[in-house]
Amino acid sequence: MYNEIDLDQINTNSEPPSEEPARQYYFMAKCREWVQRFEQKNNRLPTACIRTFGCQMNAKDSEKLMGILEQIGFGISEKEEADLVIYNTCTVRDNANQRVYGRLGYLHALKKKNPHMLIGLCGCMIQEPSAVEKIRKSYGFVDLLFGTHNIFRLAELLYRRAAEKNMVVDIWESTDAIVEDLPALRKYPFKSGVNIMYGCNNFCSYCIVPYVRGRERSREPEEILREIRDLAADGVREVMLLGQNVNSYGKTLAHPISFAQLLKQAEAVEGIRRIRFMTSHPKDLSDELIRVMKESRKICRHLHLPLQSGSSRILKIMNRKYDKEQYLALAKKIRREIPDISLTTDIIVGFPGETEEDFLETMDVVRQVRFDSAFTFIYSKRTGTPAAAMKNQVPEAVVKDRFDRLLKEVQDIATGQCGKDTGTVQEALVEDIDHKQPGMITGRLSNNLMVHFEGPKELVGNIVTVRLKEAKGFYYIGEMI
Ligand code: SAH
Ligand code: SF4
Ligand code: F3S
């Protein structure tokens, strides 16, 4: 385990080891010497800030980066006025990229004030050659560029940057490696994401994720369970199993195991009270999974089941491998088997060639399934994906009109759905104090909705019982009992 490794015992005068993770511990020890010199000179520790864009995978990656920086000795800061700032980027839609370029101007201004400041960019956007070219050309003040496959090498890259004094670019096109046993600094002491697989093989025609995250790789179940046990021993009560399509977990392992079986094994870990997972692709959600969820005391009553479109014609061009009827049947089966489940989804509006009829099919599914909540997105053209080359892009005004109609519909339905548990008594994991109302705290229900209620801040991290008194559209007001 990483916390048994003592960086002081590493001989930094020797050649770096070639095997991982030993090599990275060697570079952490090297970087720590630099931190110690910084401290002697400036009478303070250097500070580091990581800003995360995008999904849960990126949030988890940032915790790993933070773990490395903490080992090296950086003071971790929330503020970008730091000695090292890393943006962990997302590129799933163009506006995610634009936000990063916009913020880079601000970082440049900070660097002018603090010339020793280091700026790093990593994550999905950096796996795109066009983005790297643009950064090299127009943002020469950036110090470090690395992708999604080699985040575990942060210490080595920092060390190289100190030695070379030039922009360090280290981007791997792909990888088979899953490097275990590196440190992580969790954002919350009581809940944690756990990667169960990396990458994606589905190639939905609009989506860039398979290109920037690489091929699907499942972690060994023993490694996953070991991590969950360690987390439980460290006080974690809720884990979220992470993968782009958890339903295909384990299929390519030397000893294949299904996602449902993995869940059962995770459920057996003592100390873990709740299990969530993200994301579940409708095409291969098994009856076994529904059964395991239904019988489980720990798996939360929440299923995120991205629809993307309600039109069978569009779904086919999107390469989603299910049609409207199959999705509806699946949603119905899940609601029948697990009546208290919360079903949430993602929907894209304005996919190339989407007609008014196609859009109305989406509205029809939304009305039939009555999603408890839905993320709605305007289609964004991603260079290199099959959909980007399609000629029949939908005019912006048409997309905007459909988007507004869809948003209103999903919000109205979600508001109605939120009220359905009023009066019931449920468990909530207290996550934070309620920053808007003194004396109140905020908890997450099994179905992923939040409840605000009176209570002391000492309860943060505990599971408590609350009565849901009043629905407020997308959250509840409750009382502890
Ligand atoms: N693996 C998950 C999705 C990850 S990306 C799944 O298949 O369900 C999260 C969401 O971003 C997707 O569900 C989709 O709704 C949205 N998305 C992906 N590519 C997009 C694009 N090019 N334009 C708009 N939204 C997109
Ligand atoms: Fe993208 Fe489809 Fe993979 Fe999800 S399943 S990450 S939408 S390609
Ligand atoms: Fe974005 Fe990468 Fe996640 S593109 S949505 S951060 S996998």
Between the CA of 363 and the centroid of ligand 1 the distance, in Å, is 18
Q: Rounded CA gap, 158 and 250, in Å? A: 34
Between the CA of 481 and the centroid of ligand 2 the distance, in Å, is 42
Whether residue 430 contacts residue 455, with contact meaning beta carbons closer than 8 Å, is answered with yes
Between the CA of 122 and the centroid of ligand 3 the distance, in Å, is 12
Q: Rounded CA gap, 348 and 407, in Å? A: 11
279 C-beta closer than 6 A to ligand 3 = no
248 C-beta closer than 6 A to ligand 1 = no
Q: Rounded CA gap, 17 and 444, in Å? A: 45
pLDDT, residue 1, reads 46
> Which atom of ligand 3 has the smallest separation from the CA of 125?
4
209 C-beta closer than 6 A to ligand 3 = yes
Q: Contacts from 60-64 at CB under 8 Å and sequence distance 24+?
A: 60/193, 60/194, 60/195, 60/242, 61/88, 61/122, 61/123, 61/148, 61/151, 62/88, 63/184, 63/185, 63/186, 63/187, 63/192, 63/193, 64/151, 64/152, 64/182, 64/183, 64/184
List the pLDDT tens digit at each of the 481 positions of the chain. 455 678 888 888 889 999 999 999 999 999 999 999 999 999 999 999 999 999 999 999 999 999 999 999 999 999 999 999 999 999 999 999 999 999 999 999 999 999 999 999 999 999 999 999 999 999 999 999 999 999 999 999 999 998 888 899 999 988 877 777 788 899 999 999 999 999 999 999 999 999 999 999 999 999 999 999 999 999 999 999 999 999 999 999 999 999 999 999 999 999 999 999 999 999 999 999 999 999 999 999 999 999 999 999 999 999 999 999 999 999 999 999 999 999 999 999 999 999 999 999 999 999 999 999 999 999 999 999 999 999 999 999 999 999 999 999 999 999 999 989 999 999 999 999 999 999 999 999 999 999 999 999 999 999 999 999 999 989 999 999 9
